[in-house]
Amino acid sequence: MRKIIVPVLAALILIGLAAIFGFRPKFREVDFEVEGRVIKASGPFEYSGHELLVPQKFAERLLGANIRWDRPAPLPKGVYYRDKVAVLMYHHLSRKPLLPSILSEDRFAEQMMLLKRDGYHVITMGQYRRFMLANVRVPDNAVLLTFDDGYESFYKLAFPVLRKYGYTAVNFVIVSDVDNPGKEGLPKLTWSQMREMKKFGMGFYNHTYDLHYFAPVDAEGGKEPALSALLYIDDETRSEYNEEYYRRVTGDLGLAERRLKEELGNTDSALAFPYGSYNDRVMTAAGSLGIPLTFTVKEGLADRGETNADRINAGSNLRTPAQTIDRIRKFVPKRELTVNGRGVLLSGIQPEFRQGMLLVPLDEICRSLHIAMNYDRLKGMVKLTMPKANHASRRSEGAYRTYAHRGNIGQFRPAKPCSRLSAR
C-alpha cells in the first residue's frame, strides 16, 4: 500500500505546484498538417491558456508571413490609445457608500469629471457599432459607458450626472424584471423611465429575458449560469440536448429582443452575458437572432472588429475615482504583434521569449490570416485548412487565406472567435 501511496502523493504535489507556479507543458514535437501535407517540427512549443505558442521563425516559414513583436509607434501627447475603445462596466449605484462592490454616486460623478479632464471621449452606442461593424473610426481615447442589470439607480443617480457632462450610456436590462415589476431585490427601471432617457441618447439592450440566474446542471445539484449551461432535467435524469438548449435560449433572447423593440423602438441589438458566462452555443444562439455585438466581463480594451468585447470594471468602490480612470491606461499594450504589417488582436496570451526564442500564439496569427486551425492536444497534431475557393490565391498572397471560426473552451472563459482548440 505504501508503495502505491507515495507515488500518488508525489503526483498530487506536482499537480499542486503546477497550479501554483503556472507550469505550462512543453511539447518536444508537434506535427503540423497543411492541406494534407504533414510537417514535423521540433519546439519549443507551449500550450498555455488554451493557446499554442510556437517559435516566431517557424510560424513565418509555416504560414509564409512576416511576424513582428515590436513597440508601437509613439502617440501624440495626451493620446493614450487609438483605434480602440475602453468599455467601462457599472452595475448599481448608491447615494452613500454601502458595499465595496457598489459604487457611490459621488465617486461616479468624479469619474465622469476625470474622463473629461483627462482627455477621454465618451462615444455613443451608434459610434461603437459603426466602429465594430462598418470600420468607421472613433476618437482617440474612446470610452463607452455600460451598465448591467437595469437598476433604477441608473435613472435616479447616473442619468443626472451623465446629462451634466453631455455623456450617453447603455444599460443591459433583464427584461422580465421590467415586465414584472415588484420582484424582490433592488428596484429596476420601468419602460417609461427608459423611454424618457432614450430621448437624451441613452440606450437599452439585452441582458436576457429571464436567464440571469444559476441553474442545476447535474444530479448532485451543481449550478452554472442558465444562459450558457446545458441544464439538468431531474425528471428524466439527464442534461438538455443541444436542440432543447437552443430552443430555450433563442426563445428567451428572442423574447427580450421583441419586448425591447415593442417598448423602446430598438432597431439594433446587443447582448451582455450574465456573469460574463458564454460559449460556442451562446454565440450561435445570439448570431441566429441577428445580435451582432456582445459584451463580456473579461477586462481589456475593445479592438476594432472584436465584436465580442472586453470591458473594464469601473463600478468598484474599492478604488478611488482617480485609480479607476488611471487604470484604463494599464490595458494599453506595451508591444504590438503584427503580421504582414497589420496589427493582430490578442485575447489574453502574449508572445514571450523562451529558450532564447520568441514564441507567438499561433491561433491568433491564423485568425489574422483567416486560416482555419484545429489543434488536437492528445495527438499533438495541428491542422491548417482553407476553402477550395481560396486555393488559387494562396501562392500570390504568400499565405493561406481561409475562413476561421473562433470558439471557446469552458463555461466561464471568454470565447475567442478564432480557431478551435480541441482536446479529443
Q: List per-residue pLDDT tens for the chain, 424 residues long.
A: 444 444 434 444 443 444 433 434 444 468 888 888 888 776 788 877 678 889 999 889 888 899 998 887 889 999 999 999 999 999 999 999 888 889 999 999 999 999 999 999 999 999 999 999 999 999 999 999 999 999 999 999 999 999 999 999 999 999 999 999 988 899 999 999 999 999 999 999 999 999 999 999 999 999 999 999 999 999 999 999 999 999 999 999 999 999 999 999 999 999 999 999 999 999 999 999 999 999 999 999 999 888 999 999 999 999 999 999 999 999 998 788 889 988 887 766 788 888 788 999 898 898 888 888 988 888 888 999 865 544 433 333 333 222 222 333 223 333 333 333 333 3
204 lies in a domain? yes
261 lies in a domain? yes
Contacts of 422 (CB under 8 A, 6+ apart): 374, 375, 376, 377
* Rg, Å, the chain Cα set: 24
Contact assessment for residue 249 and residue 282, using Cβ atoms and an 8 Å cutoff = yes
pTM: 0.74
How wide is the angle at C-alpha 311 spanned by C-alphas 308 and 312, nearest 5°? Answer: 170
Question: What CATH number does residue 182 fall under?
Answer: 3.20.20.370
Cell of 181: 415589476
Q: DSSP readout, 371-422?
A: -EEEEETTTTEEEEE--GGGHHHHHHHTS----------SSSSPP-SS-EEE
Q: How many domains does the chain have?
A: 1
Q: What is the pLDDT of residue 42?
A: 66
Q: What is the pLDDT of residue 342?
A: 83
Q: What is the pLDDT of residue 73?
A: 82
Contacts of 19 (CB under 8 A, 6+ apart): none
Contact assessment for residue 85 and residue 123, using Cβ atoms and an 8 Å cutoff = yes
Cell of 8: 500518488
Q: What is the pLDDT of residue 305?
A: 87
298 lies in a domain? yes
Per DSSP, the three-state class of 179 is: helix
Q: Which amino acid is at 39?
A: I
Contact assessment for residue 146 and residue 88, using Cβ atoms and an 8 Å cutoff = yes
SS3 content of the chain, % helix, strand, coil (to 5): 35, 25, 40
Q: How far apart are CA 331 and CA 86, in angstroms?
A: 9
185 lies in a domain? yes
Q: Which domain holds residue 304?
A: 84-336
How wide is the angle at C-alpha 277 spanned by C-alphas 273 and 279, nearest 5°? Answer: 100
77 lies in a domain? no
Cell of 415: 470565447
Q: What is the pLDDT of residue 182?
A: 83
304 lies in a domain? yes
23 lies in a domain? no
Contact assessment for residue 217 and residue 184, using Cβ atoms and an 8 Å cutoff = no
> By C-alpha distance, which of 136, 135, 205 is closest to 169?
205
Q: How many helices (H) and strands (E) does the chain have?
A: 13, 26
3-state SS record for 71-101: CCCCCCCCCCCCCEEEEEEECCEECCCCCCC
> By C-alpha distance, which of 170, 60, 164 is closest to 111?
164
417 lies in a domain? no
